[in-house]
Amino acid sequence: MLSPTVAGCGGPSPEELATISYVPLERADWQTATPEEVGLDPLLVARAYYEAQKRDTLFGLLVVRDGKLVAEHYYNGADVDEIDRRASVTKSYTSALAGIAIDQGFLPGVDAKMLDYLADVAPRITDPRKWDITIRDMLEMEAGYPWEEDNDLAWNILWTGDYLHAVEDLPLTADPGTKFQYSTLTAHWTGVVVARSTGLDLMSLGNEYLFGPLGVTPGENWNRDVDGYYMGGGDILFTARDMARFGQLYLDGGVYNGQQVISTSWVNDSIATRVKKSWSNIGKFKDMGYGYYWWTATCGDHQVSFAWGHGGNLIVLVPDQNMVVVVTADSFYGPDNFTDSWPHEKANIELAANFIASLPAE
């Protein structure tokens, strides 16, 4: 029977939807299933892929339900092996590595102070408020540093690759712990703190405790700053399937293949709404909030958490559907590529949001 969500909506006919390709490629890294086998309406899935083919900066769209890859297709020259910069999706990986550092006893917890791990910078700090910045403040984007796109000094620093001095030189625009201000520099410094606390760079730490256990390998061109620290705020490279594996790890409470890779408590703390009304609505993503470098929102009848990178790169967790939705897209890398990117980014985000909102409540 035709889904009532599709019937009468003025979109493509069931006959058109039947021609849409989204059958996953059979590979050893993912068990596959049909939508029907996991209780999904195939017409709702097909409609999402019908819309996906219209997006001119979209690279990939994947749907995982009950741990099985049920839909997958690539666009605009991309394929299953496409690996590219996932922009600020990186921040969610940095959050995971921070949690692992705490789980392993390298960091004492989220109440540890940022400057305790920046001894080379600390003697030059003149704003006493900066001594109060905690790892929790950083993870919740409430450290007090400005959003780079809204601050010329921060924006210019962001593209130099020279970041440690900015802990001192970049003025706070809010008291720590009082105001959400999205800051890529803050996320990068979180990565520096994690690296210094563990004695391992983020790539090595990830290979031992996160990427390795998941059986995934980041691309070799993950950028570093001038001091050699991997970019904790952006630029990690993964395939869409790798991103889906990371999403499934969080959906499963930090467990993969019977191994507790990240503590369940860290996963739950990270994807919970810790900061409310952190951003305006984006299409059907409403009531947007923030956790530990994860966004949260309502979407139709569903509560979601998602990693979000520029261009519309996404890993969306839909717990009540036991679902992960992954979007990969052109990240519009570079300072000269931001101006006209938002309409494309918004369209890619809305693609995922519209699909999720169309799913009936369980």
Q: Any idea what DSSP says for residue 149? A: G
Q: Residue 337: its pLDDT value, please?
A: 74
- Find the Cα–Cα–Cα–Cα dihedral 332, 166, 174, 297, rounded to 10°: 30
Considering only CA atoms, which of 313, 355, 332, 334 is closest in space to residue 93? 313
The full set of domain ranges for the chain reads 14-84+237-256+271-358, 107-198
- Which DSSP string do the residues of 33-81 spell out, in sequence order? --TGGGT--HHHHHHHHHHHTT-TTEEEEEEEETTEEEEEEE-TT--TT
Dist. CA 17–CA 46, nearest whole Å:
6
220-264 pLDDT tens trace: 999 999 999 999 999 999 999 999 999 999 999 999 999 999 999
- Tens place of pLDDT per residue across the chain (362 aa): 234 444 445 689 989 998 999 999 999 999 999 999 999 999 999 999 999 999 999 999 999 999 999 999 999 999 999 999 999 999 999 999 999 999 999 999 999 999 999 999 999 999 999 999 999 999 999 999 999 999 999 999 999 999 999 999 999 999 999 999 999 999 999 999 999 999 999 999 999 999 999 999 999 999 999 999 999 999 999 999 999 999 999 999 999 999 999 999 999 999 999 999 888 899 999 999 999 999 999 999 999 999 999 999 999 999 999 999 999 999 999 887 777 899 999 999 999 999 999 999 97
Dist. CA 7–CA 281, nearest whole Å:
27
Pair of tokens at residue 128:
């006493």
Dist. CA 317–CA 293, nearest whole Å:
14
Task: Give the burial class of 211: count Cβ atoms within 10 A of its Cβ; 0-12 exposed, 13-18 middle, 19 or more buried.
Answer: buried
The amino acid sitting at 17 is L
Q: Any idea what DSSP says for residue 22? A: -
In three-state secondary structure terms, 171 is: coil
Q: Residue 334: its pLDDT value, please?
A: 85
Whole-structure pTM value: 0.96
Q: Residue 345: its pLDDT value, please?
A: 97
Dist. CA 244–CA 3, nearest whole Å:
27
Considering only CA atoms, which of 203, 194, 224 is closest in space to residue 116? 194
The amino acid sitting at 344 is H
Distance of CA 280 to the CA centre of its chain: 18
Dist. CA 362–CA 356, nearest whole Å:
12
244: Cβ contacts below 8 Å, ≥ 6 apart: 30, 62, 64, 69, 315, 324, 326
Percentage of residues of the chain with pLDDT beyond 90 = 93
279-327 pLDDT tens trace: 889 999 999 999 999 999 999 999 999 999 999 999 999 999 999 999 9
Considering only CA atoms, which of 313, 316, 350 is closest in space to residue 332? 313
Architecture of domain 14-84+237-256+271-358: 3-Layer(aba) Sandwich (3.40)
Q: Are strands 237-238 and 255-256 parallel, antiparallel or unpaired?
A: unpaired
212: Cβ contacts below 8 Å, ≥ 6 apart: 206
Task: Give the burial class of 228: count Cβ atoms within 10 A of its Cβ; 0-12 exposed, 13-18 middle, 19 or more buried.
Answer: exposed
CB neighbourhood size of 340 (10 A): 8
